[in-house]
Structure 1
């Protein structure tokens, strides 16, 4: 059964992203939304960790939350897919479980 892991906290304020990347099994999906979108940005201290995870996890970022914080899709790490709200729903439906990392 596949799992959608959601991270909504900034990786610069909480360790939710670190915990998620540590425990997510290969092939799982990770959705970054709300302040979690900061983990998707190029040129940050967490970019190497997220880039390494892309080899075993599918990582998504919620486009409207990215835009609400003033960032465009050009700023995200290569390999991360941008989804809209309908894409968020599709991810939740496609995966057997949703695990929120707080």
Structure 2
């Protein structure tokens, strides 16, 4: 099981699209830094083909810092403690740039 970290917007990098093609059942996706913009409703279609067991998260402080509200409900907002917990839970952590 892998935790995939995305820190770029879909418009500034192919990281999100690249990671979505590599995600497998049991993996998790965590949006951090500018990656939280991908949780905006305009990008919701990108996540429709994810395997059902993939958990999606976003770093709440990063969304707040960017003034983002009304984000994709498929993403669970977590804090830094949750980030650490996810990093420990998954056997592998991959940062996509």
TM bucket (normalised to shorter chain) is over 0.9
> What corresponds to 1:79 in structure 2?
74
CA distance in structure 1 between the aligned counterparts of 2:89 and 2:30, rounded to whole angstroms:
13
* Alignment correspondent of 2:59: 62
Deviant stretches of 4+, over 4 Å:
none
What is aligned with 1:97? Answer: 92
- Cα drift, residue 11 of structure 1: 0.7
Unmatched 5+ stretches in structure 2: none
Aligned to 1:30: 29
Q: Deviations over 1:44-100 (max 9, x none)?
A: 1x210124326341110000000000013xx11122100000000000010111001
Number of corresponding residues: 97
State the TM-score, normalizing by the size of structure 2.
Answer: 0.93
Partner secondary structure for residue 49 of structure 2:
helix
| 1:48 corresponding residue in structure 2 | 45
Q: With the length of structure 1 as denominator, give the TM-score of the two structures.
A: 0.88
